[in-house]
Structure 1
Amino acid sequence: MRVSRHYNLGRTQATLDFVDVDIVKDTPVFLSPKALTMLPSDFGDECVHLVQNFFHGVLEAIRAGRHTDAERLLKQLREPNETRLGLSKGKARGRALGSGSAHDVWQSLSRSEAVKTGLIEDLEDTVLMVEGVSVDIVSDMTTNIIREPLIRYTQQMCEQYEIPMMTGVDSGPLWNARDQKWYSNFTELPLAGSGKLILVPKVLVRTHLQYDAGEYFQHFLLTHMRDYELAVNSELVEIIKSGKGKRQRTRKRVTKKALVGKYGNGKAAIIAQTRKHPTALATYKALKRDEKHLPLTLDDISGLEGAPPVDWNVLLSNVREVPTGRTDAGRYEKAIEGILTALFYPNLTNPRVQHEIHAGRKRIDVTYTNMAVNGFFKWLAAHYSAAHVFVECKNYGKELGNPELDQLSGRFSPSRGKIGLLVCRTFEDKALFLKRCTDTAKDGRGYILALDDDDISNLVAARQNDRLFSEWTLLRTRFNTLID
Structure 2
Amino acid sequence: MNNISDYYNLGSQQPNLNFVDIVLDRDNLLFIDPRLIEASEDLEMKKMQLYIEAFWGELVKRIRSKDVKKIYSILSGLKEPRETRLGYSFSKSSGNSVASKLKAKIIDAITRNKAVQSGVLSHFSDVELFIEDISSDRISDITTKIVKSVLIEYTQEQCRLNGILMTTVKQDDIFDKEKLKWIRKDCELPIFHGKPIIFVPKEIVRLESGAGSNVACFYRYAVRHFIKHDASMMEDVSPSGKDGEILLKDVKAEYPLSKESLTNWGIKYGKLLVDYKTDHLNNRLRPLTDLEIMNIVYKADDDISQVS
How high is the TM-score relative to the length of structure 2?
0.86
Structure richer in strand, relative to its length: 1
Match of residue 131 from structure 2: 130
Determine if contact 1:13/1:302 at 8 Å carries over to the other structure: yes
Match of residue 271 from structure 1: 263
Matched, 1:300 2:292: yes
For the aligned residues, what is the CA RMSD? 2.7
Residues 122-131 or 9-18, more deviating = 9-18
Summarize the Cα distance change of 1:86–1:181 in structure 2 as closer, same or farther, 3 Å threshold.
same
Match of residue 164 from structure 1: 165
1:257-316 deviation per Cα after TM superposition (whole angstroms, max 9, x unaligned) = 45543x4531112222333333332321222563242221121122112369xxxxxxxx
Summarize the Cα distance change of 1:177–1:259 in structure 2 as closer, same or farther, 3 Å threshold.
same
Shift in Å, 1:67: 2.5
For structure 2, the residue ranges without an aligned partner over 5 or more in a row are 301-308
Match of residue 54 from structure 2: 53
For 1:288 and 1:160, the matched residues in 2 are separated by 38
Match of residue 174 from structure 1: 174
For 2:256 and 2:280, the matched residues in 1 are separated by 25
Q: How does 1:51-450 map to 2 (within 5 A)?
A: 51-87=52-88, 90=91, 95-167=96-168, 169-193=169-193, 195-207=195-207, 208-209=210-211, 212-221=214-223, 223-229=225-231, 234-236=235-237, 238=239, 241=242, 250=243, 252-253=245-246, 255-257=248-250, 259-261=252-254, 263-288=255-280, 290-306=282-298
Structure number, greater radius of gyration: 1
For 2:236 and 2:211, the matched residues in 1 are separated by 37
For 1:27 and 1:50, the matched residues in 2 are separated by 25
1:140-183 deviation per Cα after TM superposition (whole angstroms, max 9, x unaligned) = 1111011111111111111222212111x112212222221221
Summarize the Cα distance change of 1:107–1:193 in structure 2 as closer, same or farther, 3 Å threshold.
farther
Determine if contact 2:82/2:89 at 8 Å carries over to the other structure: no
Question: Secondary structure of the equivalent of 1:173?
Answer: strand
Determine if contact 1:154/1:199 at 8 Å carries over to the other structure: yes
Determine if contact 2:38/2:125 at 8 Å carries over to the other structure: no
One-letter amino acid of the counterpart of residue 253, structure 1: I
For 1:288 and 1:194, the matched residues in 2 are separated by 45
Question: Secondary structure of the equivalent of 1:8?
Answer: coil
For 2:94 and 2:236, the matched residues in 1 are separated by 50
For 1:110 and 1:95, the matched residues in 2 are separated by 20
Shift in Å, 1:92: 9.6
How high is the TM-score relative to the length of structure 1?
0.56
Determine if contact 2:32/2:204 at 8 Å carries over to the other structure: yes
1:194-251 deviation per Cα after TM superposition (whole angstroms, max 9, x unaligned) = 721001111221212597222211232354222213x78624253855xxxxxxxx46
Question: Secondary structure of the equivalent of 2:245?
Answer: strand
One-letter amino acid of the counterpart of residue 299, structure 1: L
Determine if contact 1:222/1:256 at 8 Å carries over to the other structure: no
Summarize the Cα distance change of 1:205–1:122 in structure 2 as closer, same or farther, 3 Å threshold.
same
One-letter amino acid of the counterpart of residue 215, structure 2: A
Summarize the Cα distance change of 1:233–1:126 in structure 2 as closer, same or farther, 3 Å threshold.
closer
Determine if contact 1:91/1:194 at 8 Å carries over to the other structure: no
One-letter amino acid of the counterpart of residue 174, structure 2: L
Determine if contact 1:131/1:267 at 8 Å carries over to the other structure: yes
Summarize the Cα distance change of 1:221–1:158 in structure 2 as closer, same or farther, 3 Å threshold.
same
Match of residue 306 from structure 2: none
How many percent of aligned residue pairs carry the same amino acid?
26
1:326-384 deviation per Cα after TM superposition (whole angstroms, max 9, x unaligned) = xxxxxxxxxxxxxxxxxxxxxxxxxxxxxxxxxxxxxxxxxxxxxxxxxxxxxxxxxxx
For 1:159 and 1:92, the matched residues in 2 are separated by 34
Determine if contact 1:17/1:202 at 8 Å carries over to the other structure: yes
For structure 1, the residue ranges without an aligned partner over 5 or more in a row are 242-249, 309-484
One-letter amino acid of the counterpart of residue 146, structure 2: I
Determine if contact 2:128/2:215 at 8 Å carries over to the other structure: yes
For 2:190 and 2:223, the matched residues in 1 are separated by 47
Question: Secondary structure of the equivalent of 2:12?
Answer: coil
One-letter amino acid of the counterpart of residue 106, structure 1: I
Question: Secondary structure of the equivalent of 1:291?
Answer: helix
Determine if contact 1:24/1:92 at 8 Å carries over to the other structure: no
Determine if contact 2:27/2:90 at 8 Å carries over to the other structure: yes
For 2:130 and 2:8, the matched residues in 1 are separated by 43
Determine if contact 1:189/1:196 at 8 Å carries over to the other structure: yes
Summarize the Cα distance change of 1:213–1:82 in structure 2 as closer, same or farther, 3 Å threshold.
same
